[in-house]
Every structure is written in C-alpha cells, then in structure tokens.
C-alpha cells in the first residue's frame, strides 16, 4: 500500500498532517484556506465551513499517483474525499479474475457510506488510482463518531448515498451484458470526466483489468474506435479525438459519467429540509 502525505498545496509536498493543534493566527488562516480548497470535493463543499475545518484538523491529505493502490482488498478502510483524480475499486474473484465496482472522483467519496456500520472496518476491493490527484483522508473511528453527532454530515452523506445507489443500479448489468467496445468507451469517458485533458494515460492492460476481460479484447475495441477516428493510440496513451462520438459509442452507463460531470459542475449536493 502506498500513501504519500502532502500539504494542502499539491505543488509543494509536505509531510505534516493537520492533526496537529492550531497554535497561531497564521495556522488558523492556513486551516481556513485548506477548508476552502477542500470544497473541490462536492461532499465536503456541501458542509459548513465550520464542520469542514473541524474535519480537516483530523485529516491527512495524500497525493494520488497513477497506479497507486491506496487500499487493499480485505485490508483496513479509511474514508477518502478526492479533491482531484479518480479512484477505482476493483475486486478479485475466487477464480482470480477482476472486476471494477466503483469509479469515484471529486464528486464523490469512498467508504463514506459503508463504514457507518460498526461491523464494517475491512472489506471491499483494491482501491487504485486511475487518474492522479489529491485526496483528503479520514480514519474510520473519527469519521464514524462525527457521523453519529453531526446531522449536517449525515444529511450530506445520505444525499451522496442516493447518487451512489443510482450509479450502481444503472451499471449493474454492465459487466455481464454490455459489449466490450461500449464498456471501453464508457471507461474512457469516465477518465475524461476526472481529468482536464483529452490525452489519457492508460494502458490496454489496465483497461482489461478494470473491465475484467482479456487484453486482446481491449486492443480490438480500441482498434475499432481508432479506425473510426474517435481516438488515437500512442504507447501508454489514448487521445480522444471526438468526444461526442466516444459518448455515442459508450454503453448506457455513460449516464453515470454525465451525472458525475453534472455534480462536479453543481459543486455541492442539494437537499431540502
């Protein structure tokens, strides 16, 4: 497992965490700035500045490097709030084959729902970085205690949960029923939603692992998209030439990519009451 602690400015890595007490006016200003920066995450942005600052005094910011495994299958869980980048949850079946069950970026969080149950402290699959970025991380005991006393956090997490349920239901049939070419196009759309460039750093082997299919099938699917001038291929890189055509070629799960993008643009969860 790889964890790289960083400061709140991702361009200036630091090793200290915000668990240290606030001692001065400059520290308080730094915490307030960090709480503002944390608004890149839609769930955190849905909270008050006061609650965000409290959470950040118990948080660590980590850099997400491409290919890092930030959580391992069956290992201890932490709660991740991506500020940028994308984390993919991948489970390994008994026969050794893989399948992805979640793709989360700054519109979402990882483990924020499951660990609310006291008996859930391990489980899930590997959590792998497919788009580099930065995430704020909380330990489960603190997060769970906060969830028990903060109605504000509970409401935001429930709103987030409803989106996750919608995403899961929409994609439930994807592994077994949607064609590999369409699933490949959908995964490329997801990568594009979580980074700012049309050039994606991803290998055929990684796509095969995420989709749980043979690498040869991915090469054929990408070759077909290339022949239609939807994408171009370079060593370890795929460039999207026609985003609209990529969307047309993707399976119905593309609505999840649309929904993630809409949430990112909205900036926060809307709830009533």
Contact residues: Zn ion, CB under 5 A: 174, 178, 251, 253
Q: Which is nearer to Zn ion, 63 or 183 (CB)?
A: 183
Q: Which is nearer to Zn ion, 47 or 207 (CB)?
A: 207
Could you identify the residue written with the tokens 């969080």? 109
Q: Which is nearer to Zn ion, 230 or 251 (CB)?
A: 251
Least distance in angstroms from the C-beta of 63 to Zn ion: 30
Q: Which is nearer to Zn ion, 231 or 251 (CB)?
A: 251
Least distance in angstroms from the C-beta of 185 to Zn ion: 9
Q: Which is nearer to Zn ion, 155 or 255 (CB)?
A: 255
Least distance in angstroms from the C-beta of 170 to Zn ion: 8
Q: Which is nearer to Zn ion, 77 or 206 (CB)?
A: 206
Least distance in angstroms from the C-beta of 213 to Zn ion: 12
Least distance in angstroms from the C-beta of 250 to Zn ion: 8
Closest CA to 115 of 142, 86, 155: 142
> Cα Rg for the chain, rounded, in angstroms?
19
3-state per-residue secondary structure call for the chain: CCCEEECCCCCCCCCCCCCCCCCCHHHHHHHHHHHHHHHHCHHHHCCCHHHHHHHHCCCEEEEECCCCEEECCCCECEEEEECCCEEEEEEECCCCCEEEEEEECCCCCECCCHHHCCCCCECCCEEEEEECEEEEEEEHHHHHHHHHHCHHHHHHHHHHHHHHHHHHHHHCCHHHHCCHHHHHHHHHHHHHHCCCCCEEECCHHHHHHHHCCCHHHHHHHHHHHHHCCCEEEECCEEEECCHHHHHHHCCCCHHHHHHHHHHHHHCCCCCCC
Q: Which is nearer to Zn ion, 131 or 180 (CB)?
A: 180
In degrees rounded to 5, what are phi and psi of residue 264?
A: -60, -40
Q: Which is nearer to Zn ion, 123 or 175 (CB)?
A: 175
Least distance in angstroms from the C-beta of 231 to Zn ion: 18
Cα 234 versus chain centre, distance:
25
Least distance in angstroms from the C-beta of 89 to Zn ion: 16
In degrees rounded to 5, what are phi and psi of residue 150?
A: -110, 105
């Amino acid at each position: 497992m790889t964890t790289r602690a960083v400061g709140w400015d991702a361009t200036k890595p630091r090793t200290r965490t915000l668990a240290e007490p606030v001692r001065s006016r400059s520290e308080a200003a730094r915490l307030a700035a960090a709480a503002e920066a944390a608004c890149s995450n839609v769930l955190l942005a849905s909270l008050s500045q006061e609650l965000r600052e409290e959470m950040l005094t118990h948080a660590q910011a980590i850099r997400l490097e491409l290919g890092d495994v930030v959580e391992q299958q069956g290992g201890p869980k932490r709660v991740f709030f991506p500020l940028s980048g994308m984390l993919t949850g991948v489970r390994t079946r008994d026969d050794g084959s893989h399948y992805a069950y979640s793709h989360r970026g700054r519109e979402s969080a990882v483990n924020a729902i499951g660990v609310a149950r006291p008996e859930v402290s391990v489980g899930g699959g590997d959590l792998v970085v497919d788009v580099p970025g930065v995430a704020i991380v909380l330990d489960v005991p603190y997060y769970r205690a906060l969830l028990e006393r903060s109605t504000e956090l509970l409401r935001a997490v429930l709103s987030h949960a409803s989106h996750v349920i919608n995403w899961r239901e929409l994609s439930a049939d994807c592994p077994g029923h949607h064609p590999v070419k369409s699933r490949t196009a959908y995964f490329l759309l997801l990568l594009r939603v979580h980074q700012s460039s049309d050039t994606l750093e991803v290998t055929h082997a990684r796509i095969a692992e995420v989709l749980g299919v043979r690498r040869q099938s991915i090469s054929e699917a990408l070759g077909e998209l290339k022949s239609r001038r939807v994408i171009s291929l370079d060593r370890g890189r795929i460039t999207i030439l026609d985003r609209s055509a990529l969307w047309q070629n993707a399976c119905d799960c593309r609505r999840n990519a649309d929904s993630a993008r809409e949430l990112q643009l909205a900036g926060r969860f809307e709830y009533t009451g």
